[in-house]
Each structure stands twice: as C-alpha cells, then as structure tokens.
C-alpha cells in the first residue's frame, strides 16, 4: 500500500481491486467520468451487476433481462465486474447506461440484479467484500446460476429480497444456509422463436446431436469409447457435434461442425434426438442447449443431475444415472422409433408452456412467489 500511495495515487485512479498486487489502475486523465443523473426521473432505475468478459449462456441471459426491464419501463444501468467483450458490447440493448466503473453499485437505484454467472462465485474476494456491503438499492435480487460458493456465508450475500436459481440443486443448498428466504427456480431467459419453427425428421437412422460453446470442457473424456458402444448396438446411428471433442475419432457416422457454424437453430435440423452426457459431476444451470433442443422438437437424453433434471420430464425425454442407462435408452428407441416423434412433440409443447422469458421480470420485481 505504501508503494501505491507513493507512486500511483497522484496520477492514477484505482478502478477494481483484485488479489495480491493485482489491482487495476488507470491514469487519471484517461478516466472518463460518467454522468449518473437519470434524465427521465419518471422511470425507476434498475441496475444489472454481472460479468461481461465473454458471451456464453449467462451473458446472453443478462442481455435478455435488461431488455425486458426496459420494456417494463425501467431506466437500466449495467455495472460490470470485468472488461466488456466485443460480442457482449454489440448486444447491449440500446438505451442501457454502461457504468464506467463497477463499484458504482454504491450509487442509489430502485432495483439491483446481481447475475452471478460462472465467473462470480468466489464471493469472499476483496473486489466484492469491499464494495457490495455498500450497495444502495431499494430492492436486491440475486441470480445464482453456477455455484453456491459463499452465498449465505459471506455477510453481503445475506438478506436479499429474492434469490433466483436455474436448478433446484443450487436452491436446496442455499435454503439450507438461509432458511425462509424467498426463492424461485426457473429456466434461463431464452428467446426460442426460431427453434419452434424447426420441422424434425424423426425417421431412422437415429441421429444423436449435441452442441456447446465450451468445447472440450463439456465433452466426456470417454467420448470415443461411448461412440463405439453405441455403434455396436446399430452401426447406422449418426453423431452430430458442434464442435466435436478434439480427440474424437474419424468415422463416416460422425459429423463434425465448427463452433456456431451453422447457427444453432439450423444445426439442430440435422438431428432427431439431442443427447447431453457431460463429464462426471459437471454441474449445469440451464442448460440453454437443452431448452433449444426441446423447442426444436427434439427428445432429450441427459444426465439426471443439476440443470437438465429441472428441464427434462419423462414425457419429453430420458434422464440417466449412468452410461448404461444411455445405452438402454438407445435400445428402447430402436425398438420403437415412433417414440422420437411422441417425446419430441411433447418437448416442444413443454418448452412453449414452461420456458417463458417474461416470467423472469415478474419474479424479479414481485414477491408473489417464494418460500
């Protein structure tokens, strides 16, 4: 601290506190101060607090929520805990006020929404403990979508007006720490209109399809041996990956696509059953990929764990506790291929009924539901 006082404070301004010797400073003449006065005082102010360094599922969710809050008549501010990625920045809804420094969460607002994302779960970092206790909001809502982490342990995480979750697994863990809190589990806010237009071909061969934006992180390390097991059941089964596991074998039955090429809604036209076997113990929030597949009319085979457990029902697909369960499901489908159409159509209807993005804003601004 003495070194910082001597050499930095005169010409630089502290922007964000990190770990040991990892604070972020800017030269004062280059720090653009922002006017925080809201010109239309008739509108209440809602502030989204989140990370914006990438553009995965959680980042897209925050974009959706901000747009919906605007439609509800809020003046929306974005307070980011990180640099703003180019892709995120180009998707920020017009009219959202981007705060220059994330610690301006201490300025007054009517509503604050902390979307924890998968990069904000180490809640005891100085970056948060030095600022979040001073949050100045009439209403505070926390969205826990990746790990419970320090929620319910760190003092600044306690006493919020509502806690929203993408999976019941995280909700249960949090309620144990803070009995009596108001909670709600919901599918992430996702626009599915393009997916509803898909017309699947349920005819055999079985076409197992999946995609994710995290590459190898979400592919099971035993992918090759699993493909071999499936082809032993029926050598005509196809596999469609976007992208494929980097160590995935080359076979005529395996179709590999580049990340997001084509667009997801187009990619899903190539399959008739979505499967989503993740590495052991991998926790998922939404996952949006499962929601998109269901909206596209595809039955889903997924792990009986975390997010998928809250999305997939017996009518819309299968939840598996082991790899052997996956193989049993594939045999069941081959014995009666009509089940693809039955469950696929049910999946689409379920998505239309349950995956309604606008419900997020109602939960954020209302205390109608809860423990």
Euclidean distance between CA atoms 223 and 235, whole angstroms: 16
**What is the token pair recorded at 40?**
């239309």
- Same domain for 119 and 227, yes or no, is no
- Same domain for 157 and 235, yes or no, is no
Crossing angle between the packed helical segments 223-233 and 323-335, to the nearest 10 degrees = 30
- Same domain for 197 and 292, yes or no, is yes
Euclidean distance between CA atoms 101 and 48, whole angstroms: 13
Please report whether residue 7 resides in a domain.
Answer: no
Which helix or strand (DSSP H or E) is residue 86 part of? helix 86-91
How many domains is the chain partitioned into structurally? 2
Is it true that the peptide bond before 120 is cis, omega within 30 degrees of 0?
A: no
Q: Print pLDDT tens along the chain (371 aa).
A: 444 544 455 555 554 454 555 555 544 444 333 333 444 557 999 999 998 988 888 888 999 999 999 999 999 999 988 889 999 999 999 999 999 777 788 899 999 999 987 655 677 888 888 888 999 999 999 999 878 888 999 999 999 999 999 999 899 999 999 999 999 999 999 999 999 999 999 999 999 999 988 889 999 999 999 999 999 999 999 999 999 999 999 999 999 999 889 999 999 999 999 999 999 988 887 889 999 999 999 999 999 988 899 999 999 999 999 999 999 999 999 999 999 999 999 999 999 999 999 999 999 998 754 44
Euclidean distance between CA atoms 204 and 45, whole angstroms: 54
Please report whether residue 236 resides in a domain.
Answer: yes
Please report whether residue 16 resides in a domain.
Answer: no
Angle ∠(163,89,265) on CA atoms, nearest 5:
80
- Same domain for 249 and 164, yes or no, is no
- Same domain for 142 and 202, yes or no, is no
Helix, strand, or coil (residue 341)? helix
CA dihedral 64, 178, 319, 341 (to 10 degrees): -40
Sequence length of the chain is: 371
Please report whether residue 27 resides in a domain.
Answer: no
CB atoms within 10 A of CB 81: 22
Please report whether residue 371 resides in a domain.
Answer: no
pLDDT for 345: 98
**Residues sharing a CB contact under 8 Å with residue 61, sequence separation 6 or more, in sequence order:** 115, 145, 188, 189, 190
Contact 36, 107 (CB under 8 A): yes
Please report whether residue 217 resides in a domain.
Answer: yes
- Same domain for 232 and 304, yes or no, is yes
**Residues sharing a CB contact under 8 Å with residue 104, sequence separation 6 or more, in sequence order:** 36, 79
Nearest by Cα to 128 from 46, 26, 27, 50: 50
pLDDT for 1: 47
- Same domain for 185 and 200, yes or no, is no
CA 85 to chain centre: 16
- Same domain for 318 and 260, yes or no, is yes
Contact 76, 46 (CB under 8 A): yes
Place of tokens 């790899």: 323
C-alpha distances out from residue 302 to 86, 290, 305, 313, 316, Å: 33, 9, 8, 11, 11
- Same domain for 176 and 248, yes or no, is no
Q: Which domain holds residue 117?
A: 45-189+357-365
Nearest by Cα to 47 from 129, 137, 162: 137
CB atoms within 10 A of CB 239: 23
* CATH number of the domain encompassing residue 340: 3.40.50.2000
pTM of the model: 0.81
CB atoms within 10 A of CB 47: 28
* CATH number of the domain encompassing residue 128: 3.40.50.11380
- Same domain for 204 and 282, yes or no, is yes
pLDDT for 33: 37
Helix, strand, or coil (residue 241)? strand
Please report whether residue 174 resides in a domain.
Answer: yes
Please report whether residue 334 resides in a domain.
Answer: yes
Which helix or strand (DSSP H or E) is residue 47 part of? strand 45-50
Q: Report the chain's C-alpha Rg in angstroms.
A: 23
**What is the token pair recorded at 257?**
């696509």
- Same domain for 198 and 324, yes or no, is yes
- Same domain for 165 and 267, yes or no, is no
Nearest by Cα to 142 from 184, 93, 92, 80: 184
């Amino acid at each position: 601290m003495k070194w910082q006082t001597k050499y930095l404070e005169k010409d630089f301004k502290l922007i964000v506190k990190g770990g040991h010797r990892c604070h972020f400073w800017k030269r004062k003449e280059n720090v653009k101060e922002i006017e925080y006065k809201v010109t239309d005082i008739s509108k209440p102010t809602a502030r989204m607090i989140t990370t914006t360094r990438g553009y995965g599922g959680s980042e897209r969710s925050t974009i959706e929520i901000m747009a919906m809050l605007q439609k509800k008549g809020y003046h929306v501010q974005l307070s980011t805990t990180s640099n703003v990625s180019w892709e995120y920045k180009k998707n920020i809804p017009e009219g959202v006020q981007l705060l220059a420094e994330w610690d301006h969460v201490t300025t007054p607002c009517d509503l604050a929404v902390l979307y924890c994302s998968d990069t904000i779960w180490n809640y005891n970092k100085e970056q948060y403990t030095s600022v979040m206790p001073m949050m100045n909001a009439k209403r505070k809502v926390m969205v826990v979508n990746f790990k419970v982490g320090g929620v319910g342990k760190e003092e600044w995480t306690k006493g919020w007006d509502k806690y929203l979750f993408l999976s019941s697994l995280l909700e249960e863990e949090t309620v144990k720490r803070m009995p009596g809190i108001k909670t709600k589990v919901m599918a992430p806010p996702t626009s599915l209109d393009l997916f509803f237009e898909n017309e699947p071909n349920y005819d055999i061969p079985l076409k197992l399809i999946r995609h994710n934006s995290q590459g190898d992180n979400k592919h099971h390390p035993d992918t090759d041996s699993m493909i071999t097991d499936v082809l032993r059941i029926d050598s005509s089964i196809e596999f469609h990956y976007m992208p494929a596991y980097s160590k995935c074998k080359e076979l005529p039955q395996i179709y590999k696509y580049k990340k997001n090429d084509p667009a997801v809604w187009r990619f899903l036209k190539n399959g008739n059953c979505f499967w989503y076997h993740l590495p052991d113990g991998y926790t998922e929030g939404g996952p949006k990929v499962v929601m998109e597949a269901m909206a596209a009319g595809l039955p889903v085979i997924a792990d009986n764990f975390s997010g998928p457990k809250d999305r997939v029902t017996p009518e819309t697909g299968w939840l598996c506790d082991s790899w052997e369960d996956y193989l049993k499901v594939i045999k069941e489908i081959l014995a009666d291929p009509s089940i693809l159409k039955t469950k696929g159509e049910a999946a689409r209807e379920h998505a239309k009924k349950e995956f309604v993005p606008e419900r997020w804003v109602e939960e954020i601004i209302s205390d109608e539901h809860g423990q």
